[in-house]
Amino acid sequence: MRPIPTRARAFTAAAAVGVVAASGAVAVATSASAAAGCRVDYSVNQWSNGFTGNVTVANLGDAITGGWRLTWTWPGSQTITQAWSATVTQSGTAVTAVNPTWAASLPTNGTATFGFNANYSGTNTAPASFSLNGTVCTGSTGSPSSSPSTSTSPSTSTSPSTSPSPSTSPSPSTSNPPAGNKVDNPYAGARGYVNPEWKAKAESVTGGSRVSNNPTAVWIDRIAAIAGTSDSSSNGSMGVRAHLDAALAQGAGYIQFVIYNLPGRDCAALASNGELGPAELPRYKTEYVDPIAAIQADAKYASLRIINIVEIDSLPNLVTNVGSAAGATAACDTMKANGGYVQGIGYALQKLGALANTYNYVDAAHHGWIGWDSNFGPTADIMLQAAQASGNVKNVHGFITNTANYSALRETFFTIGTNVNGTSVRQSKWVDWNQYVDELSFAQGFRTKLVSIGFDAGIGMLIDTSRNGWGGSARPTAASTSTNVDTFVNESRIDRRIHAGNWCNQSGAGLGERPTAAPAAGIDAYVWVKPPGESDGSSTLIPNDEGKGFDRMCDPTYTGNARNGNSMSGALAGAPISGAWFAAQFSQLMANAYPAL
């Protein structure tokens, strides 16, 4: 959801309509006599009788603070059926798109991007012109009588032919903005890369072909994974370049990588410890980040939107698992003291953010981790520190929540404001005074907080929905009628875990919403970053050469610790090490999928 003042890149599945840039002065909401100008970029992803449209409007004149309105007229039979990131209405052939309530302002050189689905018959011709706040745009600050700028077809898209080398990217001390013609939402209007290795594993399980064509992320969880590995215990043998080549061969619009190898990685969970020691920040930079950036910078991949999910769980650990906190560990204290997480993430953001077609999303934990007031603000603050360490907060395109976790997207039968017989659900043992009860409300709330402390007003959120569906026979179908708040919440909640702190191979979990672009306000996409069927950690100790330890939270007999309220772990038995294929889990996820398969 980032309004970057750059041109949108068009991606097509079959045929496409060119980018339109057209004409005149903008009637600025705050001053009728203000200097004016605007540009509109329009592209589609089209099939036989329908299409997805993507629109980016750039305000070239004085700032608009009272709300914006974009209008156009269809030249044919186009009918909009659904829209996101704007309120879009249609009367006959006339269309009006109005800003969402959370993005009413449009600063000078700022952009707003929204999308829609539509039907058509015959020829799907692009609108001849667009008007912002009542006047026509020319692509400059010229008069309405100026000639419209030339339309650009997708084959001559403004995507760069070359990408800057990581060695020439700005140093962390520079204040230059990140390079590139980056779109607002890299998921919108683009088809995601389907990892052929995950696809093969999914289809090896009965019924897996029903979901095997969904895009999932590629985890680069050790240095060897950059070039590719030959062992069968991890995510597979393909390296970063091989996946990028495969994405080009598929005609994919975007590909997702998880950048996950910080020194002293995951200081609070043994199952996902990494290969680099707490003091090995130099190796992280030169042997891990630099080679990834060099590959992603290859001009061969300039047509791809490369999405980097940056360092799962790391920064929140420096808030909740240090000092005198109940979940504190010596390892987390060390990483907070030596600055390895903040500086490492800052370096990764700077090197990858400098590339023309990359998009960085930083991990932001989940509501059951930082949803309390005592954690919420401090976590946002440390994320700002890491972004500032990169040299520019605009190196962060957005944030992701619920990565590799199980928090329900929506709690259907109660909200944080629900009272039971005069008692707030916040007082229940399950909610435990948290300010949020589900992931969607948390992601939207955390986005607001991040913007308020200095992040770009257009940052977008991702939510990992790969395992938070909680369908099947255990899924509640109505709110409880109990007048006891604990009973009411336990009988009503979609999330069926024993405790919200349980995170390893959870029994009863199901696939969640399928990957979807722009599903809700402030949300760039629902994604499957954790590939369903890949283990969170082994149920028992399994020696390995990947640095992955045995965490008792993955042991189904474990009775818990302070971080999960001393509850049973809720983990499945028979699990392999983290990242390895776990067929029994995948079968369960399909059986309990919601929406159902």
What residues are annotated to the active site?
266, 313, 536
**Range 63-74 burial, b when 16+ CB lie within 10 A, else e:** bbeeebbbbbeb
Report the C-alpha gap between 41 and 137 in whole angstroms.
11
Q: Which of 461, 468, 596 is nearest to 517 (CA)?
A: 461
Q: Residue 528 annotated as binding?
A: no
Q: Residue 381 annotated as binding?
A: no
Half-sphere exposure of 178 (CA within 13 A, CB side): 31
**Range 206-229 burial, b when 16+ CB lie within 10 A, else e:** eebeebbebbbbbbbbbbbbbeeb
Q: Which of 160, 88, 83, 190 is nearest to 130 (CA)?
A: 88
CB of 276 within 8 A of CB of 341? Answer: no
Pairing status of strand 358-363 against strand 305-310: parallel
Tokens (6 digits) for 395: 């190196």
Report the C-alpha gap between 18 and 125 in whole angstroms.
9
CB of 27 within 8 A of CB of 61? Answer: no
The residues facing 77 across adjacent strands are none
Q: Residue 199 annotated as binding?
A: no
Report the C-alpha gap between 139 and 132 in whole angstroms.
12
CB of 7 within 8 A of CB of 19? Answer: yes
Q: Residue 503 annotated as binding?
A: yes
- Report the chain's terminal Cα–Cα distance, integer Å: 30
- Identify each DSSP E strand in 177-278 by its residue range: 218-220, 254-259
Report the C-alpha gap between 265 and 221 in whole angstroms.
10
Using the 8-state DSSP alphabet, how is residue 238 labeled? -
Using the 8-state DSSP alphabet, how is residue 415 labeled? -
Q: Residue 47 annotated as binding?
A: no
Q: Residue 366 annotated as binding?
A: yes
Tokens (6 digits) for 404: 């590799």
Tokens (6 digits) for 227: 């070039």
Q: Residue 530 annotated as binding?
A: yes
Tokens (6 digits) for 19: 């980018």
Task: Tell me which H or E stretch contains 97.
Answer: strand 94-98
Report the C-alpha gap between 200 and 207 in whole angstroms.
12
Name residues whose C-beta falls within 8 Å of residue 289's C-beta, 6 or more positions apart in sequence: 259, 347, 348, 351, 352
Q: Which of 168, 287, 167, 152 is nearest to 222 (CA)?
A: 287
Amino acid symbol at 332: C
Name residues whose C-beta falls within 8 Å of residue 330's C-beta, 6 or more positions apart in sequence: none
Annotated binding site for substrate: 219, 221, 366, 369, 405, 503, 530, 534
